Amino acid sequence: MAAQRRYNLRPQATPAGDSTLEGGLRVFIAPSDMAQEGLIQGDYITIRSEHSENAGVAIAWRSTDNIGSGSKTPSLRISDWLRTYYSLELKDKCFIKKWNGTPRAISTITLSQVTGPDSHIPVANLIQFARNSLEVVEGIYPTGTIEVTPRVASKKMRKQRLLVQSIEPADQDKEIQTPYFFDCSSQVIIHDVESNLETSPDNPRAIDLKLNFDGLIGHDETVEYLKTAISEGMRPDRGSAFGDLSPPILIHGPSGTGKSNLLRKLSTASWRKVITISKAKVSSVSSKTESSIAKLFLEAIEHQPSLIIMPNLHQLVGKEESEDIVSILREQLANLEQHRVQVVGTTVNMFDIHSDLLSYFERQIELSIPSATIRLQLLQVHVGNSCDEDILKHVAQRTHAYVSRDLRRLCRVALEYSSGKLKASQPDVKVQPENMALLLADKKLGRITMMDFEHALQNVRPSAMHGVQVEVPNVYWSDIGGSEGAKSDFRRMMTSIIPDPELIKVLPIRPCKGILLHGPPGCSKTLMARAFATESGFNFLSVKGPELISKYVGDTEYNIRQIFQKARRAAPAAIFFDEFDSMAQRDTGHSSLSPVTALLAEMDGVETFSNVIVIAATNRPELIDVALLRPGRFDKLVYVGRPNEDARVEILKIHSRKLPLDDSVVLENFARQTDGWSGADLAQLCDLAVVACYEECRLDKTQQQVVMRRHFEAALPKVTPQVQIDKLTDSNAWAANGVQRTALP
């Protein structure tokens, strides 16, 4: 089967903020591309993003210009309104396919007047004119607008534009977003058409926004907050005594957590106008960007109550963006204080937004990665009855950092893999994408198994982790020689980091948030941190302290915040700071104040999320700011010293277990000769012994390829032990602020 063709998205030449349904669902395609896709003008098509899986139904229309001529990838032209409604972006690569379904019938449609109630059209006539317009529209969506033209002779009656506030379908909602159609049985309601209130910026028309967030899973608290905050701001009786009527809202969180869905649901409420401001829209007229933004805000004020949405705000006003755009947005947001205009922006990371503008978004809502309970609910929605409950529970527990979009993709891959097995085992069964879930719900034909999900888990990476270098270490306690005290001590710490859910209800314990490993270099501090992450199943984020330090003001704090934010996304996770003293020194001037302050803020904030532990390692603990070492931050101080004789034997065995050793090599003898050596020194001894054997065999092919005692004896004088005895004494005796210190053998 030929691979699906990918398409670039290009903006359709329409006025800014245009949401007309007359031709608004058309996607313009080059004639040659329509022929290749087997389409004719007027066919319904599905348009789907390659990566985000946002999708919807549109109408294929023949383009009259050469779209994407000269480009290897063909292009589609789509209106800003339809693209925003489907949460597509101009940078997206999309697939299209003929859609053989049918639009949903409308039971009741509610409209409101966009151009004001002074059109002098009687209510009965306005409803009839609206019916006439709706019957000829190719497809209908909430937030779209239609034009009503009076069909009677009257000088007073003027054309009227109506907004589709809400639609009550005649059938159940479908998975993919499909347009509605209007027929003779559909009912029309003109919202507040007989209101006696005069519409003006100072006395906006009373309107019930009918905020509807049905279908959003895992955002109950956010939904309730938005309903309360927005509804209060839109109340006609709310005056200036309450301050800013509708403070701007910023919704932030990893990709795929539902920001676009929230915007879409907000857009379907009964606003008189919904306006989108994005980088693509304003940059198309770069020489008039400021005036373009000002006009959009003025339009919103003239059509109160209205909504301004700013998807991907960081692209418009990121840290490197023009100060002019930031300045005009600050000015326009300040002008909205006494108007019923709700501004809602979205971004992945709010710290990517210009700091001068960020303060104007008084209400900031974080959409976090779903919990195991929410993940189970999402999995149940995506696979229906195609899989056993126990398997879904197991998958929900394993999919840390997976967001709704990832889980949908995961289920799709599992479905496809399972259906492939079904085709191979039962070739007579016709398996199509649209009936896969239905067939797999039949226990006689087959079910989605854990093997199917294992395959999917190998192929679907959580999108929240894209760009985040996280590893699951493959180091175990058995790979570390000696340190039996460390193993038991870390196991005890794990009980507070991942407590028993039933026991903690009766005996609440404070989770351990930080562990500081200190001691001479080469004594396995890093290995212990990695082994802890492996044994506990935590993701591992390793950072060297100097890598975070920047000479530019604010960059160091930003880097520290980013590390902790990545850990939240990767939870359960362990953040490991190596060379910790380089970034956490006590204040000797002003250079170290900012990193320590940022660390204090983040360490104190760790308790707001679970399953994140901070581990730090240092050779110079006396340099670290004592504010970081109090209980509640770094709760445990662990001294990792030089190994004793038994531990040295174990370390030598670990590093030589893959070597062909001669019987003459007695590791216990070399352990006695290496008093005061670190684990790294002993590893180097084994390496040099192998090198000595290799050189002998290279020069004399008759030599036996076995590491002998003489090779170890030749290597002994070449190793310079890193650990100095006087430094050992100082480090072992160090403690701070009464924090528990554990010395490890």
How many CB atoms are closer than 10 A to CB 353?
A: 23
Asked whether residue 284 carries a pLDDT value surpassing 70, the answer given is no
104-191 is a CATH 3.10.330.10 domain: yes
In contact, 37 and 98? CB cutoff 8 Å? yes
Phi and psi dihedrals of 310, rounded to 5?
A: -125, 80
Spatial separation of the C-alpha atoms in residues 430 and 605, rounded to whole Å: 54
Give me the residue label for tokens 């040099």: 688
Q: Which amino acid is at 729?
A: T
**Global confidence as pTM:** 0.57
For the segment 254-265, the average pLDDT, to the nearest whole number, is: 85
Q: What's the DSSP call for residue 697?
A: H
Asked whether residue 343 carries a pLDDT value surpassing 90, the answer given is yes
Indicate the CATH number for domain 471-639.
Answer: 3.40.50.300
Rounded to the nearest integer, the mean pLDDT of the chain is 77
Contacts of 671 (CB under 8 A, 6+ apart): 645, 646, 648, 649, 652
Indicate the CATH number for domain 372-466.
Answer: 1.10.8.60
Q: Fold identical between 243-366 and 471-639?
A: yes
Give me the residue label for tokens 């340190």: 483
pLDDT at 245: 67
Spatial separation of the C-alpha atoms in residues 255 and 464, rounded to whole Å: 6
Q: SS3 sequence, 22-89?
A: CCCCEEEECHHHHHHHCCCCCCEEEEEECCCCCEEEEEEEECCCCCCCCCCCCEEEECHHHHHHCCCC
Spatial separation of the C-alpha atoms in residues 693 and 164, rounded to whole Å: 82
**Which tokens hold the place of 516?**
């500081």
Which fold does the domain 645-722 belong to in CATH?
A: Helicase, Ruva Protein; domain 3 (1.10.8)
Q: 3-state class of 644 per DSSP?
A: coil
Higher pLDDT, 604 or 219: 219
Q: How many whole angstroms from its chain centre is CA 557? A: 21
For the stretch 121-130, pLDDT in tens is 777 778 888 8
**Which tokens hold the place of 235?**
């109340």
When pLDDT is cut at 50, 70 and 90, the band that residue 426 belongs to is low
How many CB atoms are closer than 10 A to CB 697?
A: 14
For the stretch 190-235, pLDDT in tens is 865 444 333 334 444 445 667 878 778 888 888 888 888 887 777 6
In contact, 610 and 570? CB cutoff 8 Å? no
In contact, 9 and 75? CB cutoff 8 Å? yes
Q: SS3 sequence, 330-361?
A: HHHHHHCCCCCEEEEEEECCHHHECHHHHCCC
* Domain residue ranges in the chain: 6-98, 104-191, 243-366, 372-466, 471-639, 645-722
> Domain 243-366 sits in which CATH superfamily?
P-loop containing nucleotide triphosphate hydrolases (3.40.50.300)
**Which tokens hold the place of 45?**
């098509």
**Which tokens hold the place of 696?**
């002998």
Q: Which CATH class is domain 6-98?
A: mainly beta
